[in-house]
A and B are shown apart, each in its own frame.
Chain A
Amino acid sequence: MARAPRSVAGYTLHARRRGMVGWVLGVIAMAAFTVGLWPALPDPTELQQLLESVPEGVLAVFGASGDVFLSPAGYLDGRLFALIAPLVLLLFAVGAVTAATAGEEAAGRLELLLSAPVSRRRVILEKAGAVALLVVVLAVLLFTTLVVGVAAVRLDMGVAQLAAACVSLVLLTWALAALALAIAGATGRRGLSLGVTAAVAVAGYLVDSFAPLVDSLAGVRPASPFYLYRGNQPLVNGLDPLHAGTLAAATLLLVAVAAWSFDRRDIGT
């Protein structure tokens, strides 16, 4: 029997603990599977010749450039960090953060919680903190699995670069989850929060992946969260302080907006 929660954050973690099993196993399997397939890939030199005949633009659509596609970094970036890993972490974090806020509000539970001596700002911050922590847990598991897997299959990949990619992934996830939190905090509407956040994430992804092909997108590309996440190729170059800082600042700003707006409105039923 689990101990009774002692705080809002404690309850939020408690409420997530069953579902976490699935996410933890999913993240580990995703990383292990990706790394484990590396030795089974065909001889890189044969593929390299084939790829040289493919226009650069086509490769860009798949989130890779020809020269790194068959490198370990290019492989992990294209197969894992470009889409699958952020998709999984975003599904988890955005789902968890809206369930803990707008979801509880729609169910009428916040009415009881807010009749206790806890401030609304504190409720938002503790819930945000709990979900942020769980995102870190998943990212650490992803990182650990990759480090172990890379060593096991002798994939030539630095631990520091893996760490940079995972940190960048955490920052991307936090920023978009904070957007969901801000909308949930300001409106209490779960569907709106999920919808807008999904739209921003998809638009950001598309802008970032098509920008190399479409000149007119180049101007807006730096505003894409996905560009800030991996435009600098963290698996090769490590973290870009400006990009990482922008994502972190956006997160803090959006959490502040969530707390501020939640504190100002009627709690709905």
Chain B
Amino acid sequence: MATIRTEALTKFYGPVRGVVDLDLEVRAGEVFGFIGPNGAGKTTTIRLLLDLLRPTRGRVEVLGRDPRRDGLALRRDLGYLPGDLALYDDLTAGDHLAWFSHLRGGAGGDRIGPLAERFDLRLDRRIRDLSSGNRRKVGVLQAFVHEPQLVILDEPTSGLDPLLRQELHRLLRETRAEGRTVFLSSHALDEVEAVADRVGIIRDGRLVVVDDVRALRSRAVRRVEILFAAPVPPERFAELPGVSEVEIDGALGRFLVDGSVDALVKAAAGFEVVTLTSREPDLEEIFLAYYSEGPGG
């Protein structure tokens, strides 16, 4: 069963485009990365899923329910970390978390303490007196304490230091291991890459592509650098299958490889190789590739 399904989901703010004809399917038990530049429509999509916004047209279904008609039951099983996190900062962190637990019928009340300890958050301090990183932790905790079936995170690691980012990633993997679903929006592509199973790329309000992280990566070009013991003849590397760019500078060769590196490695084997480095493409490069293609790109 799909945890999130949208069909032709469209939102305009007056004449201003939010998202257009979004067909999205997020499967149960996966971490789905939703990436795109600022203003592409990520937050609009999330707010439509939460029934904070009402679609101009199209359909939304979250956890098998209509967010509008069945929102209460749906939101019992949902955790949400807004990108623009605004907490009730006159409360202490502990009171805020306890209050939201009460709103959820007490769900997760007993996990507040252990999770706070895990994220090194002091519960007795007023939120307004906390650093922005610590406020962010309160936001993360309130999204996870009740162990929801679906966690929606909008730019979750902005403002978290690297250690806490790792802790959050661990939490995401645990969530997935328990069969629960995570919808993770980000413009920080390396972050999505580290935890997501599948990725959707949104651009100008439209979904450009949805694919496995692995498939996206294998589809992209990678850069290979080979240092030979002595200068090599450039003609031996011309017109190798899959090698699109060749730059031979004495003993140093730089190559741009599309897909398999087999032909290049076999050609290089005819010479003495000192070092060979191949850099995995990151989603940034993939993303830029998609972003520069397509209509109007």
A contact residues vs B (CB 8 Å cutoff): 1-8, 10-11, 14-15, 107-109, 111-119, 264-267, 269
- B102 and A4: CB pair below 8 A? yes
How many chain B residues touch the partner (CB < 8 A)? 36
CB distance from B278 to the nearest CB of A (A): 44
CB distance from A121 to the nearest CB of B (A): 11
Whether A108 contacts B84 in the complex (CB less than 8 A), given A4-B98, A117-B72, comes out as yes
Q: List 18 A-B contacts (CB under 8 A).
A: A2-B95, A5-B102, A7-B103, A10-B99, A11-B99, A14-B90, A109-B86, A109-B88, A111-B82, A112-B85, A112-B86, A113-B103, A115-B52, A115-B78, A117-B73, A117-B76, A118-B72, A269-B84
**Nearest A residue to B103 by beta-carbon distance?**
A116
Contacts of A8 in B (CB 8 A): 103
CB distance from A102 to the nearest CB of B (A): 14
- B95 and A5: CB pair below 8 A? yes
Main secondary structure of the interface of A (DSSP, over half): loop
B104 within 8 Å of A (CB atoms): yes
Main secondary structure of the interface of B (DSSP, over half): mixed
B169 within 8 Å of A (CB atoms): no
Choose from A1, A5, A11, A266 the contact partner of B52 (Cβ within 8 Å): A266
**Interface 1/0 per residue, B95-121 and A, CB below 8 Å:** 110111011110000000000000000
CA of A267 to CA of B68 in the docked complex: distance in angstroms? 13
CB distance from A259 to the nearest CB of B (A): 15
**Nearest A residue to B88 by beta-carbon distance?**
A109
CA of A2 to CA of B102 in the docked complex: distance in angstroms? 16
- A114 and B94: CB pair below 8 A? no
Choose from A1, A7, A264 the contact partner of B102 (Cβ within 8 Å): A7
B80 within 8 Å of A (CB atoms): yes
- A108 and B98: CB pair below 8 A? no
CA of A269 to CA of B85 in the docked complex: distance in angstroms? 11
**Nearest A residue to B43 by beta-carbon distance?**
A269
Contacts of B94 in A (CB 8 A): 4
CB distance from A112 to the nearest CB of B (A): 6
Contacts of A112 in B (CB 8 A): 80, 82, 85-88, 139, 142
